[in-house]
A and B are shown apart, each in its own frame.
Chain A
Amino acid sequence: MTNLSDRQQLSYIASQAADARLNVELETEGMTLNIGPQHPATHGTLRIIARLDGEQVIWAEPSAGYMHRGYEKLTEVRTFPQVTTLVNRIDWLGSFANEVPFILASEKLMEIEAPPRAQVIRTILFELSRIANVSLFLGDLGVQMGAITPVFLAFRDREYVLNLIEGATGGRFHPNFDRIGGLKDDLPKGWIEETRQTMVKLRKFCDIIEDLLFGNEIFQSRMRGIGIIPADVAKDYGLSGANLRASGVDYDLRRDQDIAMAWDKADWKVWTHPDGDSFARCWVRLQETRESCKIVEQLLDQIPAGPIMTKVPRIIKVPEGEAWVSTENPLGEMGYYVVSKGDLGPFRVKIRSASFNNISIVPWALKGVYVPDIITILASLYFILGDIDR
């Protein structure tokens, strides 16, 4: 219990008191189970301290920070173009999407805007990184419940998307491709055609996953009615992304926000689900992957001609000011609050990453569930450790 805050300790003591009362009645003794920081279900180093009565959880608390890398502080000693190298390691499965809000915030401060061609290509890459991210989630879902086959299919099909990202940007995982005022390079020859073919494969992958997992009775009995998060609770805890939409809140920053990206050029749908349970969260993500394929396919036809870079000075100095830009990233709402004092680098950057807020609901959602449900609820909330700890 070393790295717990006062509030955590208080709630722990309260839970033990409740536990003691229970023990007097049933003459049982609780057990504290440390799930993590080294545990196969936490995708990294998240630690969940769970107090168990038999197999039932009576108290659970996430303990984050084992992988804190101090990106907010590190940005203060970097120049503006260098920051993208750092921030695309936050959510490492959908790296390109991490760069975009920061670049947009910087552009907002400099009062410039990327040319239309760059905006469309940015949006396409953004959606490709969403597909790469969520397709792995869909495969991993099975592994969390003991079905080992879907994850290999997911790795196989994600590879096609990563190849596309590598083809366009030169980096499979960390593209570092977005620049203030545009993009580093134009698209390579033949890329558009290849992307079109890949989107067909990814749609097929979605169908396979729907058959293999979502249609399975055992999967449904494990997911339906488990970990229900009502809409008001979800809003109170600041959930975002598919977790929020699965609770029935129709909120998607891609649609609701006027931003210098090209989502409004495509015809697509924001999926919500009224149930708010684990199944709904996974289902919404599955549908979003399909929508992303749709967006990419439509935008491929609409890439305008023109430059990919607007005119920016060779040495970028961002004028004094403060700006907040957030976008709908694969994991949820991700935003950067950038404060500039007119120097080469930012004075202060506050990163709002989606997973950090998404796991804040863990103590609420895990109360009273069984140990196997911990895993399915955590899997359906879908966090990435880099996104929690930054």
Chain B
Amino acid sequence: MMQLAVTQLGIEIPYWGQSLLRVLGGLVAVLLPAGTIVYLFLFKMMSFMQSRLGPMEAGPYGSLQLVAEVGKWMQKEDLAPEAADKSIFKIAPLVVLLSTFLLVVVIPFGPDALFTDFEVGIFYGLAVASVSVLGILIAGWASANKYSLLGGLRAAGQLIAYELPMVLATIGVVIQAGSMNLQNIVVAQNTGEIFGWGGIGNPYIFTQFIGFLIFMIAVQAELTQAPFDMPIAESELVSGYMTEYSGFRFLIFFIAEFATAGVFALIASVLFLGGWGIPFDWFGWTTIDSVDNWMNIVGPLIMFTKMLVLTFIIMWVRFSFPRFREDQLQTFAWKVLIPLALANTALTAILKVVF
């Protein structure tokens, strides 16, 4: 975005201005998907699946419901349990949200619309994604509540277990693209060819279908959403690690949950669905530098559409499935997903060498 402003429009922006723009861009990139997901899927789609209308009063078709809810949460008292470790208790939701913000930094939204062009982007992304485990764990511990503790420990066990298949599923893509840079992965998919035909590029969902499935399952688990919502398990652990939170700290947890869903969907669309790009063949582009400038506007929209499609699937599963038990969940990760992901990685590597 910065390069765009400086090079194309010929405006000189001081460094503090660039930083401010980056922060604002990050806020938009995190909060806009989160709000859309909450309204479209949590409020409306879920309601239609359950034969009800959902919010209808605040704004046309309840579109301002989220604003009303945020207003409600902000008014509430910022409570901390007496026995809680207060400072850690208060910082935990921010740690979870922070991990989402750090994650969005490496995602490319267009040829020039990106925050950082990071060589080992996907490596960094997967690393900061696990920062949220820390937030959840300290939230569960600092609440001084038995349900929270159980929830926090379950979350830690689950997130660590599902981090592995996620990383292994990504390795297939990295091998195929030959790069860890997310921008390069996008370009590699859109300049790719299927048996010499570049009409739709070569989105890795075709070649890495197993990887895509494993990645989406792991995302579902990372987001602690049904059928992997054992850490929250509202019918047994009340709300798991979030039990003691109220007011805007609960709101931050809530936003972080859906923002992370959005950001993971963005990463999945970059890795498997071709990201912001359209097949370069269509307009005769060959490299990233030859891409027209209007892609900086269209690219984010394409990303946003793909994100909605993927989060729709995530939410659809969430609303329909009952949850696993903790041990079944671990068994599924260690005995099914990880061997499958390893086999997929090995196969990809062999095919890469052969062809």
Instruction: Apart from A146-B226, A222-B323, A375-B235, list 15 A-B contacts with CB within 8 A.
Output: A146-B233, A146-B234, A146-B235, A146-B321, A146-B322, A147-B323, A153-B50, A213-B322, A218-B321, A218-B322, A218-B328, A370-B325, A370-B326, A371-B237, A372-B230
Q: How far is the CA of A370 from the CA of B325 in the complex (A)?
A: 9
In the complex, A312 has a CB within 8 A of chain B: no
Chain B nearest CB: distance from A187 CB in Å? 29
Determine whether the beta carbon of B235 is less than 8 Å from that of A147.
Answer: no
Residue A216 CB within 8 A of the other chain: yes
Q: Are B230 and A148 in contact (CB-based, < 8 A)?
A: no
Report how far A41 CA is from B326 CA in the complex, Å.
18
Size bin of chain A's contact surface: 20 to 34
B236 within 8 A of A: yes
Decide if A212 touches B50 in the complex (CB within 8 Å): no
Q: A72 vs B236: C-alpha distance in the bound complex, in angstroms?
A: 33
- Among B93-148, those with CB < 8 Å from A are 146-147
- Bound complex: CA A185 to CA B50 (Å): 36
B52 within 8 Å of A (CB atoms): yes
- List residues of chain B with CB within 8 A of the CB of A146: 226-227, 229, 233-235, 321-323
Majority secondary structure, B binding face: loop
> Closest residue of chain A to B319, judged by CB?
A149
Closest beta carbon of chain B to A322's beta carbon, Å = 43
The answer to whether A212 and B230 touch across the interface, beta carbons within 8 angstroms, is: no
CB proximity of A47 to chain B, nearest CB, Å: 14
- Please tell me if B24 contacts chain A, counting CB pairs below 8 Å: no
Task: Determine the chain A residues whose CB is within 8 A of the CB of B233 once the complex forms.
Answer: 146, 372
A-B contact pairs, 8 of them (CB 8 A): A33-B147, A40-B234, A40-B238, A41-B235, A147-B322, A152-B52, A370-B326, A371-B237
State which of A9-17, A80-88, A137-145 sits at the interface with chain B.
Answer: A137-145
Interface of A is mostly: helix
Q: Is the CB of B226 within 8 A of A372?
A: no
Kindly state whether residue B7 has any CB partner on chain A within 8 Å: no
Q: Which residue of B lies closest to A213 (CB)?
A: B322
Q: Is A374 an interface residue (CB 8 A)?
A: yes
Cβ of A36 to closest chain B Cβ, rounded Å: 11
State A375–B229 Cα separation when bound (angstroms): 15
A170 to chain B, nearest CB (A): 27
Residue A156 CB within 8 A of the other chain: yes
Whether, in the assembled complex, B150 has its beta carbon less than 8 Å from a beta carbon of chain A, the answer is yes
Are the C-beta atoms of A222 and B325 separated by less than 8 Å? Answer: yes
A182 to chain B, nearest CB (A): 38
> Is B328 a contact of A149 with CB atoms below 8 Å?
no
Within the assembled complex, what's the spacing in Å between the Cα atoms of A153 and B52? Answer: 10
In the docked arrangement, what's the CA distance between A153 and B320, Å? 12
Tell me the complex Cα distance, A134–B140, Å. Answer: 36
Interchain CA distance A209-B146 in the complex, whole Å = 34
Q: A152-B51, A153-B51, A156-B51 are in contact. Are A372 and B229 (CB under 8 A)?
A: no
B interface footprint on A35-52 (CB within 8 Å = 1, 0 otherwise): 100011100000000000
Question: What residues of chain B lie closer than 8 Å to A41, measured between beta carbons?
Answer: 235-236
Residues of A with C-beta under 8 A to B323: 145-147, 218, 222
* Complex CA distance for A283 and B290, rounded to whole angstroms: 63
A373 is an interface residue with CB less than 8 A from chain B: yes
B236 contacts A218, C-beta separation under 8 Å: no
